[in-house]
Amino acid sequence: MEPLLGVKVGCLFALLALTLGCGLIPICFKWFHIEAATGRHRRVLKLLGCTSAGIFLGAGLMHMTAEALEGIESEIQKFVVQVSSRDASFRTIEYPYGELIISLGFFFVFFLESLALQCCPAAAGRSTEEEEEQSGAHVFGLHSHGPLPSASRGPLRALILLLSLSFHSVFEGLAVGLQPTVAATVQLCLAVLAHKGLVVFGVGLRLVQTGTGSRWAMFSILSLALMSPLGLALGLAVAGGDSEGRRGLAQAVLEGVAAGTFLYVTFLEILPRELAGPEAPLAKWGCVFAGFAFMAFIALWA
């Protein structure tokens, strides 16, 4: 076996093992189940949830959105060069195409959820936990005059979250599989492992705290864990060919849509839910910021 191929196979198993391990920890240990927690234990879990919200925020803004914008811009520049070489009179239009694609991903998921709620009005019901948090609650000193995103929408938004992360994980694995040298492969794989473990732990915690059944939660983590190895295997399969031509604009667009869906879930489900209660607002802010800051720090290498 060639050294480069051996390193990539090792990265494949490392990505699979880390994702499974980090994702299953909050599912398998009852300590993370917030419905049975009381007192200090419950407060700690609430702050841990805020930290995971900051990790999601950092992953969405510093990793998924940044990578999508870079990929879309790169593909558009290639397209402009190709067209300009054939037609000297061709003129480009300065336009934020990357931001548009990410926004379309956001509004696409918004439309799907609105359609689901229109067809099934009962899905707009609110959970007992949210009713308790909303009774006289203040969020950053502001009265809550309207309902927060319902926890009963949790399964739909959990599915959206998993799909967006799955797309992103496939492309991460694909990037690792296409690296031309051992050093580049190891460096990128370590960067992916550093933030992926935290994100998947946050997914597992999110599934547990929204009352997802253990079997469905484990199946979700297993499916997500297989995405990066799948992408890496695809990268190995196309490494000898015209990989850039095969990926092209389609990958950049899919990354943009995935980033938009991830931001939708982060801002309309995860953050509002974690910040809903009136207790310890500064501590919650600190935990959200700590999670975001760590992901921003990892972005130096990822």
pLDDT tens by residue, 207-251: 887 777 888 888 888 988 888 888 888 777 766 555 455 456 777
pTM for the full model? 0.73
Dist. CA 219–CA 222, nearest whole Å: 5
Domain presence at residue 290: yes
Which one, of 49, 260, 26, 50, lies nearest residue 163 by Cα?
260
Domain presence at residue 64: yes
Domain presence at residue 6: no
Residue range of the domain that includes 290 = 16-35+42-86+95-124+149-298
- Give how far the C-alpha of residue 194 lies from the chain's centroid of Cα atoms, to the nearest Å: 14
Domain presence at residue 139: no
How many domains does one find in the chain? Answer: 1
Span 93-122, pLDDT tens digits: 788 888 999 999 899 888 887 887 777 665
- Phi first, then psi: give them for residue 241, nearest 5 degrees: -110, -160
Residue 197 pLDDT class (50, 70, 90 cuts): confident
Domain presence at residue 56: yes
Domain presence at residue 209: yes
Span 31-88, pLDDT tens digits: 887 766 677 888 888 888 899 889 889 888 888 888 889 888 888 888 888 888 887 7
Which residues have CB under 8 Å from 113's CB, separation 6+? 153, 156, 157, 160
The token duo for 80 is 């402009």
Domain presence at residue 52: yes
Domain presence at residue 134: no
